[in-house]
Amino acid sequence: MKLTVNGIEQEIFSPPLTPLLHVLRDELDVTSPKAGCQQGGCGTCTVLIDGEPRRSCLTAVAAVDGSEITTLEGLGEPEQLSPVQAAFHERYAAQCGFCTPGMVVAATALIERKGGPVERDEVLEALGGHYCRCTGYVKIVDAVMAASRGQTGAREDEPETGEEAPVMIPGSPA
């Protein structure tokens, strides 16, 4: 079996009914798709299969033999984040970060499909199967909407003086 993962063709040796998730993580060391619930319920294993977001834990590797797989690693580089990655970073849309790979991949597909600004209800529909157990949904939805509008880079509401923002609560980053 063969897969093209983030642009690189890979020969696959796992048994045919191995979940794509475990092929990515264990055979190919592509670890952004997380093994969360492993029954399709949490969304953090979501990857793009031939451009469409699907659950890698529910996908037998043999069923996608020959496909192109894109994971979070394939969307941007640490020095060159994709718009969704940048928006998540700038707008504090990741707390513990466990759900973030699936959120970013699904949001990227949504924005690509729409081809323009996405509205709140569209984000809720597209990310409806993704759990954030930190419950940081507000900032996630805001980040996706901002990314779809190209609102990434320096934020207007951040101080531009180069000084640290004042600490409102001692001992906390807020």
Partner 1 sequence: MPAEALVPTSAEEAARLYGDGEGVVVFAGGTILLPEISAGRLKPERALMLHKSGLDGISTDGGTIRIGAMTPVSALVGGPSELISRFAENVGDGEVRRSATVGGNLCATAGVGAQRGDLGAPLIALGARVRSTGKGGERTEPVEDFLAGDRSGRLVLEVELDAPSGKWGAETLRRRHAHSYAIANVAVASNGGGLRIGVSGVGPTAVRARAAEQSRNPDDVLRDVEPVDDAVASAEYRRKMLPVLLRRALDQLETA
Residue pair 108/75 in contact by the 8 Å Cβ criterion? yes
d(CA 42, CA 37): 6
Which residues pair with residue 55 across a beta bridge?
46
Strands of 46-49's sheet in order across: 8-11, 2-5, 68-70, 46-49, 52-55
CB of 170 to partner 1, least distance (A): 39
CB 73 within 8 A of CB 6: yes
Shortest reach from residue 128's CB to partner 1, in Å = 4
Shortest separation between residue 130's beta carbon and partner 1, angstroms: 8
Return the number of the residue (76 or 129) whose C-beta is nearest partner 1: 129
Separation CA 89–CA 80 (nearest Å):
12
Give whichever of 66 and 150 is closer to partner 1, judged by the CB atom.
66
Query: Residue numbers of the site for partner 1 (CB under 8 A)?
Result: 15-19, 22, 38-41, 43, 46, 52-55, 57-60, 62-64, 106, 125-126, 128-129
- Minimum distance, C-beta of residue 74 to partner 1, in the bound complex (Å): 17
Instruction: Select 58 or 81, whichever has its Cβ closest to partner 1.
Output: 58
